[in-house]
Amino acid sequence: MRSWTAWLALGLGGFCLSWASILVKWCHLPPLAVAPWRLTLASLLMQLWPQARRPSGLPLRVVLVGGLLLAVHFATWIASLDLLPVYLSVCLVTTSPLWVALFSREPTSPPALTLAFAGTVLLSVQSLRVDVQVQPLGVALALLGAWSMAAYLLWARSHQPQAGQPAYALRVYATAAALLLAVALLAGIPLRGYSHWQWGCLLGLAVIPQLLGHTLLLLAVRYGSANWASLSILLEPVGSTGLAIWLLGEHLQPLQGLGLALTLTGLLGLTRKSV
């Protein structure tokens, strides 16, 4: 039985994560501008938290690998939002519990695996067939974002006592930000000259899904397995799809909705044993 703290971290984390795709869409900036600024601003704000500034005692290798995986996750997923509608990009990137189940040694459910795979395939194929916004490259980028997030969660689980600490989060966020800023500069991406609205969206990304959402996700890791933390991620496609329908005017065809429902049902089945 999980404590109320774990359940609160789970629910709030999922709600905060749901706003990420909406804020990215509202930015109207290149992905390699959004990703580094999101993490840079989050890292700067976390400096205000005394616990985050404490010496962590973490090996440099732990921080570098965590930061690299997080950088790959954000770079690929945010890029996928340029090529896909919110409902598809977020559903694909949140299949990370599926890959966690496959790559970890935790007990899993073959029927749930099958259901999650079938739902993902149905949603992707149907979206490619009926939605002109959907591009195959976007699907590949979203899946790469899911794989890197699965690896990030598994890496955090292997260092579980430290992964739930603010000091770990700050160092990983800062490392990912530095890597992404370097790539953006090498690619010649403009990192300034934005409108007030765009800066507001970037700040919102740093505060809501990053500082609150991802930090609560790391807190959930502290209270259980990587699969347990993945439950928080399952709330994101539900919230993001609802927000995209309401705020962006997106819509799903019946078979797309069925694919989304099957995927989430399968993913929920994969994580039930962790709850």
pLDDT class of 69 with cuts at 50, 70, 90: very high
Contact indicator for 24, 205 with CB cutoff of 8 Å: yes
pLDDT at 262 over 90: no
How many angstroms separate the Cα of 232 from the Cα of each of 100, 249, 267?
Answer: 14, 25, 11
Question: What single-letter DSSP state applies at residue 273?
Answer: G
Contact indicator for 166, 52 with CB cutoff of 8 Å: yes
pLDDT class of 3 with cuts at 50, 70, 90: low
Which tens digits make up the pLDDT trace of 139-161? 999 999 999 999 988 888 776 55
pLDDT at 44 over 90: yes
Q: Which residue, among 181, 225, 135, 171, has the nearest Cα to 33 in the 3D structure?
A: 181
Q: What is the pLDDT of residue 4?
A: 65
Q: What is the pLDDT of residue 1?
A: 42
Which tens digits make up the pLDDT trace of 204-222? 999 999 888 877 766 665 6
Q: What is the pLDDT of residue 256?
A: 87
pTM: 0.86
Q: What is the pLDDT of residue 223?
A: 60
Which tokens hold the place of 36?
Answer: 């580094």
Domain residue spans of the chain: 4-274
